[in-house]
Amino acid sequence: MQSSPFSHLNDQQRQAVTAGLGQTLVLAGPGSGKTRVLTERIAYLVRDLAVRPYHILAVTFTNKAAREMQSRVEQTLGDPCRDLWLGTFHSVCARMLRREAAVLPFDSNFVIMDADDQDTLVKRVLKELNVNDKLYRASGVHAAISNAKNNLMQPKDYPRRNYRDEVIARVYERYQQMLLQSNALDFDDLLLWTVRLLQENPDVVERYGRRFEHVLVDEFQDTNTAQYLLLKLVSSYHQNLFVVGDEDQSIYRWRGADYRNVLRFEQDFPEAKKILLEQNYRSTQTVLDAARAVIDRNPHRTPKHLFTDRGSGERLVLFEAADDHSEATYVVDLIGQNMAGDRKAGSRFAVMYRTNAQSRLLEEAFLRSGLPYRLVGAQRFYGRREVKDLICFLRLVANPADEVSLNRTINLPPRGIGDKTIQSLQAAAQRAQTTPGAALLELAAKGERSAAFTALGGRGAAMLLDFARLLAGWMEAARQEPLPALFDRIVTETRYEAYLRDGTEEGEDRWNNVQELRKLAYEYQDRGLGPFLENLALVSDQDTLPEDVTAPTLLTLHAAKGLEFDNVFIIGLDEGLLPHSRSLDDPEEMAEERRLFYVGMTRARNRLYLVRSRQRSSYGSTEFSEPSRFLQDIPSALLEERGAQRRARSTRPSEVQASWARWETPVPAPRSPQIIPPPPPAPKVVQQQYRPGMRVRHPIWGEGLVVESRVLDGEENVDVAFESVGFKRLLASLARLETV
């Protein structure tokens, strides 16, 4: 007897997968198998309802999730399903915009500006408009512009309630002009222009509406205003919209996500079916009960009764450290005990925190212990200088109008083209009502007879002519040669290898990164330069995480979304850290902080450690801290308390540190006669090796500049600003620094 294709699904999952036509809202608790439901739903449509993959659109938020869904669908159906539109919101929008570029104010070969490019462009605008960049920081201005785009505001729609709004509106307008002049879009534009495309072109929205008989959405709680409207537009004809999400896991409000879209969905589609997925396949019941106790205090949500077949499991550990140094050492010591003799055991541990800055003490503790660790949220591979250099060369070949890439590469490696020459090129292009890239191509074609050469004149024109001929040659090669050949040609003709490989270890590391990018170019040799660049522009941090991890993972709670670990430590559970101080006077922000803690708690499969500190260092002094209010919501029956609150209050952190191993298996302290302690030894005189302004080299992080050196507790502490990873505070005796 043949088994049912749904025999591996629980009742709630089966109900969701086989839901009828119309709108369906699936509220999926953490670890409840939402990816399985989505992929099985697609398979059900194709296999049981005979819907062609061509007529299905499925969107999610990361390339990694999209690849996993595609793989699962193909495995279930035994068919490659090439006609299925499945990808991230941004990749789907980019695909539409390239197809419909004829009715848009940019060409189909537009480039997508990444976060660094966007920041660079905003800084250019601030400088051009003579705006004080100390009062109007580029990151803050761009955040305001991004928020406006996510709410479908064009520059003319931007509200001008005060002088700051007026400045941002002017910057926004000029920023958009520069993007279009460069035939470029930023991430938010992909959504904004797609919505405008569908709203302003009835024939286009009807064509896509008729095509997509079924629209499926993952992580619906993370959609913003633009994404919600986009989904309504593309599903407007057949009205089959299937969304999966969980308002309790909406943690990206700061980048436009609005959990209230779940409420809007129920209001806009009152006949929609609502299905809850409540069986958890990840965590123990104790972890789920503790997490529910925290999240149930949030308003405007659908209560979910999470349950599991995995058993009750062990109680949560609540540890109170004497100070933040002790907090880090406790976590690392406990992980080290569990890793003893088995390095691969480290993959079972994750340490989560509210802000990136909290990783510093953890990193130092791992370095002191000699244990490996993986830091999520460090500089991304695609953000490294040498990788970005090569990407910009390739982007310029694909789109000579891209001024950001042109400005980065025109004198790279240094070829004598200074700022004055670049400004002259820009001025000449402006007078000719063209772009600097187009002026360079004219220079390459006509040489000294070109208007650009005459306008520039002198040595600058000759230097620009050399680069212009290189660019024209690369563009010709891009039309005739495969991508790896173009890549090699650019590296060779710019002498980029010699520029990087300067005989240092850092230079070798940088060259290895270039070779790694070259490997990716080979993977795209049959698809071409355009798809290669689009993939790089849309990749996210989670897409770059290695699958095979053997070390403990350090990451922020925001980065933990979608991940799971056997053992999870959440540190910094103090008022002002979690919840963050910015949320204390804002109920919506406080609700998001609670959701963030809930997401972190539900990443744990087996053990969950909640860690806080009685006092924290603050710019050379210490401040006492209060326990996070979220801890009060967890029933005491679910907690096992360890640390300072379970022992006599000690003012010496070293006493606490020395006792941790015993606290794991408590033993009664032996009675002993009173002994008068000897006088403390004279403080050790430490000869400082480093001074501010010295350049040093670290075996992993490369070169950096010493910012400050001080002696604390008999050890020299060095603050170093590294070029590769930014600011680090190190123990001189362990850091293996070399002076340069």
Per the rule left: phi > 0, alpha: psi between -120 and 50, beta: everything else, 81 is left
- Measure Cα distances from 531 to 302, 406, 536 in Å: 41, 20, 9
Cβ-Cβ contacts under 8 Å for 590 (sequence gap 6 or more):
579, 583, 584
Tokens 């938010």 belong to residue: 188
Nearest to 529 by CA among 469, 480, 495, 468: 480
Q: Is 460 annotated as a binding residue?
A: no
Nearest to 613 by CA among 338, 335, 318: 318
DSSP 3-state of 173 = helix
Residue 249 designated active-site: yes
* From 12, 24, 62, 249, the catalytic residue: 249
Q: Please give the Cα distance from 568 to 611 (Å, whole number).
A: 11
Q: Is 33 annotated as a binding residue?
A: yes
Question: In sequence order, what are the beta bridge partners of 712?
Answer: 715
* From 40, 114, 117, 219, the catalytic residue: 219
Both structure tokens of 147 = 């928020």
- DSSP class of residue 684 equals P
* From 232, 510, 603, 616, the catalytic residue: 603
Residue 603 designated active-site: yes
Q: Please give the Cα distance from 206 to 199 (Å, whole number).
A: 10
Q: Is 613 annotated as a binding residue?
A: no
One-letter identity of residue 366: F
Q: Are 368 and 498 in contact (CB under 8 A)?
A: no
Q: Characterize 667-694 residue by residue with b for buried, 16 or more Cβ atoms within 10 angstroms of its Cβ, and e for exposed.
A: eeeeeeeeeeeeeeeeeeeeeeebeeeb
Exposed/middle/buried for 395, CB within 10 Å: 0-12, 13-18, 19+? buried
- Residue 510: which H helix or E strand, with range? helix 505-523
Strand 702-712: give its sheet, edge to edge. 726-731, 715-722, 702-712, 695-698, 738-739
* From 12, 15, 23, 34, the catalytic residue: 34
Both structure tokens of 136 = 């109007």
Both structure tokens of 160 = 């001008």
What are the φ and ψ backbone dihedral angles of 26, each rounded to 5 degrees? -110, 115
Question: In sequence order, what are the beta bridge partners of 320?
Answer: 612, 643
Q: Are 644 and 614 in contact (CB under 8 A)?
A: yes
DSSP 3-state of 509 = helix
Q: Is 684 annotated as a binding residue?
A: no
Q: Please give the Cα distance from 460 to 186 (Å, whole number).
A: 32
Max CA pair span of the chain: 100
Q: Are 285 and 316 in contact (CB under 8 A)?
A: no
Q: Give ∠ CA 205-207-209 in degrees, rounded to 5.
A: 65
Q: Is 416 annotated as a binding residue?
A: no
Q: Please give the Cα distance from 489 to 424 (Å, whole number).
A: 28
Both structure tokens of 225 = 């205003």
Residue 34 designated active-site: yes
Q: Are 689 and 715 in contact (CB under 8 A)?
A: no
Both structure tokens of 164 = 């700051």
What are the φ and ψ backbone dihedral angles of 421, each rounded to 5 degrees? -65, -40
* From 14, 18, 35, 466, the catalytic residue: 35
Q: Are 250 and 221 in contact (CB under 8 A)?
A: yes
Q: Is 31 annotated as a binding residue?
A: yes
DSSP letters along 43-84, please? HHHHHTS---GGGEEEEES-HHHHHHHHHHHHHHHTS--TT-
Please identify every residue annotated as catalytic: 34-35, 218-219, 249, 603
Q: Which residues are annotated as a binding site?
A: 28-35
As annotated, the binding site for ATP includes 28-35
